[in-house]
Chain A
Amino acid sequence: MRKLGPSTRIFALVALAGAVTAVAVGAAGASTNRQSATTITGAGSTFVAPLIAQWISPLGSAYGYELQYSAVGSGAGIASITSRTVDFGASDAPLSPDQFSACNSCEQIPWALGGTSIMYNLPGVKNLLHMDGPTLAKIFMGQITTWNDPAIAKLNPGASLPSTKITIAHRSDGSGTTYNLTDYLSSVSSAWSSQVGKGTAVNWPVGVGGKGSSGVSAIVGQTPGAIGYADVAYAISNHFSYFAMKNKSGKFTTPGLRGILAAATSDQKPAADNSLSIVNPPKKYANAYPISTFTYVIVPLQSSKAPDLKKFLFWAVTKGQTYAPKLRFVPLPKSVLVVAEKAIAKIHS
């Protein structure tokens, strides 16, 4: 019989390689398919990402779930769950009516409560600086450009402020934290409200954009004189200073557990779509931190992973909340927890 020619040998080799690869990939696919029954994927808010990161391993040991979360920003989270690329989305901004209809029978469920810190990098100034809403709005609009501006000095009589230029670090991606901040700025400054408005992404008058809360943190960390905003967990882990904000009662409060909880008591009844608004609470909530927000998980009402999803979410709003305080997230208040559990129960397969 003829010896196999070189071309035939080559093609046999290539075919063999292809077959081996196909088998290997198929086997890998099959084996991880077994696992994927207990893989729960999610995407969205960087605000709540530190808390979710703490849930990954206890969830694994409690139920054997593999929680995979990509912190790509609330905007991307809403887009991902709308196109059902993931099992759940996470957003700090409540969905608009258009987003609800695009998502096609989804519901949003409050599952964590935290505060947005206004962080800054001002080497040489040790004490905690004070700030109020109208001044902050002017800073973000580019009307106040240096640290030793009279408006800032007035709020901080004891501090010696340098003439460093202020650099604003804002989010370049669609962000629920941006929604929280712009919601607050719109309520304290009519100029901001009419010129810029509120949203998960806005037309920033000034500043440098960073991707995700980490991106903003990176800019603040590398730029003396920078002011940025992110969930307070980021400020703490990066050892940034943050402002004590003046609330409606005149008190300067910080994004700690007390301030956030006080803000949360200002709205105890979720609306029909389960959203709550606790930004800039009225005067009587004397200890409230005015830039606090609930953050939501967005799930489809009908899901092939309904039993696992429900187990995960029940765990998250109960056991998961025990991981919250050390990251300056406040455990869900009772009234909100009741609504959340009712909403979770609605998920069916």
Chain B
Amino acid sequence: MSAQGLTGPNLRHDRLPRRRAVNRLMETLAWIAAAIAVGILGVVIFSVARHALPALNFNLITKDPIQFSLTNAPQGLRNAFVGTIVIVGIATLMALPVGILVAIYLNEFAPASIRNAVTMVLDVLNGVPAIVIGIFVFGLFVVGRGQSGFAGSFALACLMVPLVSRSTMEILALVPNSLREASLGLGVPHWRTTLSIVLPQSVGGILTGTVLAVARVAGETAPLLFTSSLVGTQTSWNPQHALQTIPVAIFELSESPDPADHARAWAAALVLLLFILFTSLGARWLANRNRSKLAAR
């Protein structure tokens, strides 16, 4: 590898003070950059927490919203919390089997050419903007049929599959080949080996990938705008109709003139943020633990 710029004249000793000054400047800028990033994170989380305080009470999850309320009757966002649980739950049930099966196929069966091709397809799917997925599912399921929680779940599942696949593939690859060889040597069929030996070793990683995927789509708004946004105020567990969700509720409340609406939006945002943070960080910690456990074998 060529080390550019490190030629004799540039390293002259009499230029040392200037070179040291430039070095110090750059190091300071790097420290500042890191401070800015951490600072922004702090500011955003602090903002959310501070503004959420007025509405952070049990009403948030026990009461439905009241449209255009003329009184100060207590309201909350119960329909959004329930809807998110239903829609994200169904999306996970849709995405998990598909993601695992794709990873199994790519890692255990596919020849290199197909593996490269499908991996590229997964990366492409990962890069499709969420709003385009929303347009797609709208054209596929909503036109003529109406919005539904299922359509919303399908859209979220499209976003989850690449994430679940990728992390499952990583963990499947970490399972040592010697285990597979030993199992085969004992006469266990390939399919049994995969399901009974390889998969159980990977459960930790699969769980991690799933949790990360859930954290990613729990906050997705754009696909749900097209598939599950025409809702009233009542709580429903039925995914055959459109259900309110937390991100869509935050989106709608954010454009309201009423400060009480804003407070509820902040409170829902705080709950969402905490959920995503805890699950992401927890999943990453689990992933590191699993990886070191497998590597130590």
Q: Which residues of A contact B (CB under 8 A)?
A: 5-8, 10-11, 18, 21, 24-25, 28-29, 32-33, 36, 41, 43, 49-50, 52-54, 56, 66-72, 76, 80, 83-86, 210-212, 214-215, 217-218, 220-221, 233-234, 237-238
Contact = CB atoms under 8 A, between A and B. Distances in A.
A211 B232 contact: no
Interface string B230-263: 1111101111110000000000000111100100
A18 B93 contact: yes
A85 B232 contact: no
22 contacts: A6-B200, A7-B195, A7-B196, A10-B203, A29-B240, A33-B238, A36-B241, A49-B68, A53-B67, A56-B233, A67-B232, A68-B234, A70-B230, A71-B67, A72-B229, A80-B230, A86-B146, A214-B258, A215-B255, A218-B255, A218-B256, A237-B70
Contacts of B143: 83
Contacts of A50: 68
A43 B67 CA distance: 13
Interface residues of B, number: 37
Contacts of B147: 85
Nearest to A6: B200
B144 interface: yes
Contacts of B174: none
B14 to A, nearest CB: 58
A214 to B, nearest CB: 4
Contacts of B199: 7, 10
B257 A25 contact: no
Nearest to A210: B255
Nearest to A29: B238
Given A8-B196, A53-B67, A72 B230 contact: yes
B101 to A, nearest CB: 13
B142 interface: yes
B54 interface: no
B238 A214 contact: no
Contacts of B240: 29, 33
B249 to A, nearest CB: 12
Nearest to B235: A32
Interface in B108-141: none
Given A28-B237, A41-B232, A68-B233, A83 B257 contact: no
Contact of A85 (B86, B146, B234): B146
- Tell me which of B86, B237, B255 has the highest count of chain A C-beta atoms within 10 A of its own C-beta: B255
A299 to B, nearest CB: 16
B239 A29 contact: yes
Nearest to B236: A32
Contacts of B56: none
Contacts of A76: 230
B257 A41 contact: no
Interface string B31-71: 00000000000000000000000000000000000111110
Shortest Cβ-Cβ A-B pairs, 6 listed: A68-B232, A28-B237, A217-B257, A53-B68, A7-B196, A218-B257
Given A7-B199, A83-B144, A210-B255, 12 more contacts: A25-B239, A28-B238, A32-B236, A32-B237, A36-B241, A43-B230, A52-B67, A69-B67, A72-B229, A80-B230, A83-B146, A214-B258
Nearest to A57: B66
B282 interface: no
Contacts of A67: 232
A32 B68 CA distance: 25
A41 B236 contact: no
Nearest to A214: B256
Nearest to B68: A53
Contacts of B93: 18, 21
B90 interface: yes
Contacts of A29: 237-240
A41 B236 CA distance: 13
A221 B259 CA distance: 11
A69 B200 contact: no
A312 to B, nearest CB: 14
Contacts of A212: 255
B238 A70 contact: no
Contact of B257 (A18, A28, A238): A238
B146 A211 contact: no
Contacts of B203: 10
Nearest to B233: A68
Nearest to B237: A28
Nearest to A218: B257
Interface in B194-240: 195-197, 199-200, 203, 229-234, 236-240
Contacts of B229: 70, 72
Contacts of A21: 89-90, 93
Contact of A211 (B196, B237, B239, B255): B255
